[in-house]
Structure 1
Amino acid sequence: MEAYVVEILFGGFFALLLLGAPITVSLAGAAMVAFLVLGKNPIAFVQIAFTSVGSFPLMALPAFVLAGALMEAAGISKRLVDIAETLAGPITGGLGAATVLACLFFGAISGSGPATTAAVGMLMIPAMVNRKYERSYASAVTAASGGLGIIIPPSIPMVIFGISALGMAPPSDAVEKYGEFASLSIPKLFVAGVIPGFIMAAALLITNYMISNKRGYRGLTEKWSYGEIGQALRRGTWSVLAPVIILGGIYTGLFTPTESAIVAIFYTLFVGLVLHRELKFAAILNSLKTTTWITGRVLLILFAAVVFGRLLVEQRIPATIAESLLNLTDNVYLIWSLIIVFLLFVGMFMETLAAIMILVPVLLPVMYMMGADPTHVGIVVICTLSVGFQTPPLGENLFVASGIGGSTVEQIVARIHPFVLASTAAIFLIAFVPQLSLWLPQMLGY
């Protein structure tokens, strides 16, 4: 029966995708057929789906999406970009470096890859073209950097990973072999993402420097102007304080990730309406529409993916995969390599949040059997799937950058592969050295 259910679930899922059905319909359709074949009451399908959205941490999803949209409308993102430009100064490929830094800053308040690409790209792609950067390269570095939006906390995929993994206890065999595993929480994931986020950004900065040096893309200025840096920091004081307040509140335990998202909304409204006075009523309405659309789409996928994952677990499919992998090899580095390559492939075809919800029930038991910390697993999964934003055919960041910059997706893809290779190398480093993810949470007592 187990193999039969696997064929129904995955065969039905991919068949519906090939027919052009949305991913939500593909997941739900395959799961419903499996439910009927197993003789389960279809009402249970609806009950499981409804329960999946009843968790308190999930409230952070629409709140962070709304906060990111409001911050762009309130002028916060523009001031962060100005700071990044002055800090880049005379560095070779300075505007490309400023784009990476701006995405790093904006990722700390956005939590979304496409949102980060759009907010930064609207300002930086025209600026790079004016400085004689090739248009397709300007779009490529922006699309590649936009993936940082889901690694730098707060991150929407981290919230979804936490929700998907919190109910999964380590297998008894793994506990007998390795002892009790470290706890997993969304705040801990947020803390763990900081150093890997900077490593991923450093890989992009190095790649941009090497390409810019070869192509003759010079810095913005002859030397750093401390006066201009100071002026940009003064103008952007309230913008820089946004991630400080959000992350500082989470790390100090002052409020939960869900509460921090609400704080971010009210902070943005105060800055946009009272201090910057750039936030208009029409922009607030547009931000609410954007939030409703994105949240609704994610919740529909969550409905279907939770039921899909529940069926996998009930049929012991993750346990079977874990046993098969462990029979193949017990080398943790080889298993990490196989998982990273698999996730890179999945990221090319599947939306990040859907991939997390579907794959966590399969991958986490495998890594528990290898003694891996679930927080470290979450960071590697999210870093790897972030590359999917810049790889075709799905590559959401590619389409956003294409729409803003005017280059075709094909032209951007031709320029983005060095950034994909650099990001992949950084992911292997993060996977093979767990302390890069776990040191900071340990230092802060998580």
Structure 2
Amino acid sequence: MTLLLLALAILALLFARVPVAFAIMGPSLVYFLVKDASTGLALKAVFDSVNSFPLLAVPLFIFVGVIANRVGIAERLFEFCLAGLSRVPGNLAYVNVGTSVGFAWMSGSALADAAGLGKVQVPAMVRHGYPFRFATGLTASSTLISPVMPPSIPAVIFAATATISTGALFAASVIPALLMALGLCIYIAIWVMRHPGFEGQPFDPARFGRATLKVIGPLGAPIIILGGIMGGYFTPTEAAGIAAVYMLLLGAVYRTLTLKVLWEAVRETVFLAGGIMIIIGAAGMLGQILARERVAGTLAEWMTDFTSNPIMFLILINVLLIVLGMLIDATAVILVTVPVLLPLAVSYGIDPVHFGVIMIVNLMIGLLTPPVGSVLYILSSITGRPVEEVFKGVVPFLIPMLAVLILITCFPGLVMFLPNLLGF
């Protein structure tokens, strides 16, 4: 009954639009007071949650994505994809996905992707006759590639919470991220066949050559990040720091980095990273409560009595996570549920890395669904259209996203191929 009241209080505060961290922290503090437990223990749980070296990578990777937006990397990637795919019917739609894939190697945040690329992609597509709903739905869906493709911020948080290798989780995320891009491209191909009139343009070798030269520098970022981590030259946290310096150097070379741009990038990074860290602290407090109430053991007994099939277990967990992802920020869900669900998954013989990728892909879909739907609100703000209209454009694109989730759930080899190949 105590846990039920705690859950209802948190949900009520979330529906009242109280920030996630405070919606969790308030009822959790009340629990400690009612149970006559030490509030010092609660504060220690908050401190211990954020006092983690791997989590230092989070603000650094956020800064990499933010500064890449500010110094014009998104526009360079967009121009490169547009020049290379000019002859393809419906080319702007494919360019949308291609740009998101390229930007995803540098930014682990869907919000940074939506804020940066949305300003370029949606207006360009609408100007060329694409329906607004199709343009925003595709843009919103393609932003999900960023938090799945390494360097993924949710992957860093999951790895730190589950105490598994961040490099292994990064490697495991590559194929699912590419499958997401492929699923969107298949949907685009079907849509273009049903909506003629979006023919391509003649290929211009000179334009493509100029665009290629402009992206050579930005494409060095994923080589530094992934090459360094996978090669064992430095940790993900060190890779994030080196990538941040590299982005600053690119901005200086391109003469787009000014003191004003740097200040705005730092301010945005502090705002985003600070919000994540407060959520991590609040989730640590709630995790302490779940441990005291032995939730993990109770859930394990119930689940093993219900089914012994690993696939059925994952299907049930997927349904649970989709619902939670619609209501609660993904970071909070990862921090609260991983200590409970991961041991249970391992008892079913599921690899923690495989489980992590499933959880990340699942929860990122929640960024496209109200009432949380952070990506929806960003695109609504950028375009000046109501959130409801943006969501209507997103609905058809949920089909390929859910199809990828089903594939990686049922076929673990798709996820574990690269980590096994690289020896993780």
Q: Which one of the candidate residues 166, 171, 191 is aligned to 2:171?
A: 191
Hey, what's the Cα distance between the residues in 2 that align with 1:217 and 1:56?
A: 53
Name the Cα RMSD after superposition: 1.6
Report the equivalent of 1:15: 12
Q: Which one of the candidate residues 350, 359, 364 is aligned to 1:386?
A: 364
SS class of match (1:193)? helix
Is the CA contact 1:89–1:221 (under 8 Å) kept in the aligned structure 2? yes
Q: Which one of the candidate residues 221, 224, 248 is aligned to 1:245?
A: 224
Hey, what's the Cα distance between the residues in 1 that align with 2:377 and 2:16?
A: 22
Is the CA contact 2:314–2:409 (under 8 Å) kept in the aligned structure 1? yes
Give the gaps of 5 or more residues in structure 2.
none
Hey, what's the Cα distance between the residues in 1 that align with 2:287 and 2:388?
A: 35
Report the equivalent of 1:229: 208
Counterpart amino acid of 1:214?
A: R
Q: Tell me, yes or no, if structure 1 residue 207 matches structure 2 residue 187.
A: yes
Matches within 5 A, 1:178-327: 184-216=164-196, 218-222=198-202, 224-273=203-252, 275-327=253-305
Counterpart amino acid of 2:217?
A: W
Q: How far did 1:381 drift?
A: 0.5
| Structure-2 change in CA distance of 1:58 and 1:347 (3 Å) | same
| Structure-2 change in CA distance of 1:281 and 1:265 (3 Å) | same
Report the equivalent of 2:32: 35
Q: How far did 1:217 drift?
A: 5.2
SS class of match (2:385)? coil
Report the equivalent of 2:352: 374
Q: Which one of the candidate residues 44, 59, 63 is aligned to 2:60?
A: 63
SS class of match (2:234)? coil
Hey, what's the Cα distance between the residues in 2 that align with 1:403 and 1:242?
A: 29
Hey, what's the Cα distance between the residues in 2 that align with 1:431 and 1:186?
A: 20
| Structure-2 change in CA distance of 1:125 and 1:15 (3 Å) | closer
| Structure-2 change in CA distance of 1:428 and 1:370 (3 Å) | same
Matches within 5 A, 1:354-365: 354-365=332-343
Q: How far did 1:339 drift?
A: 1.5
Hey, what's the Cα distance between the residues in 2 that align with 1:22 and 1:120?
A: 26
Counterpart amino acid of 1:380?
A: I
| Structure-2 change in CA distance of 1:322 and 1:226 (3 Å) | farther
Is the CA contact 1:66–1:287 (under 8 Å) kept in the aligned structure 2? yes
Report the equivalent of 1:119: 116
Q: How far did 1:45 drift?
A: 0.9
Report the equivalent of 1:149: 146
- 1:105-164 CA-to-partner distances (Å, cap 9, x unmatched) read 111111101111111111111111111111222111101111111001001111111111
Aligned residues with identical type, % of pairs: 34
Report the equivalent of 1:87: 84
Hey, what's the Cα distance between the residues in 1 that align with 2:59 and 2:158?
A: 16
| Structure-2 change in CA distance of 1:73 and 1:48 (3 Å) | same
Hey, what's the Cα distance between the residues in 1 that align with 2:208 and 2:366?
A: 34
Is the CA contact 1:147–1:386 (under 8 Å) kept in the aligned structure 2? yes
Instruction: Output the TM-score relative to the length of structure 2.
Output: 0.96
Report the equivalent of 1:78: 75
Hey, what's the Cα distance between the residues in 1 that align with 2:81 and 2:405?
A: 25
Is the CA contact 1:52–1:306 (under 8 Å) kept in the aligned structure 2? yes
Q: How far did 1:39 drift?
A: 2.9
| Structure-2 change in CA distance of 1:193 and 1:351 (3 Å) | same
Matches within 5 A, 1:149-188: 149-166=146-163, 184-188=164-168
SS class of match (1:300)? helix
- 1:201-237 CA-to-partner distances (Å, cap 9, x unmatched) read 1111111221222122524424x44543333211211
Hey, what's the Cα distance between the residues in 2 that align with 1:6 and 1:310?
A: 12
Is the CA contact 1:93–1:213 (under 8 Å) kept in the aligned structure 2? no
Q: Which one of the candidate residues 423, 427, 430 is aligned to 2:401?
A: 423
| Structure-2 change in CA distance of 1:349 and 1:217 (3 Å) | farther
Q: How far did 1:365 drift?
A: 2.2
- 1:231-275 CA-to-partner distances (Å, cap 9, x unmatched) read 3211211011111211111111111110111111111111111x2
Q: How far did 1:362 drift?
A: 2.4
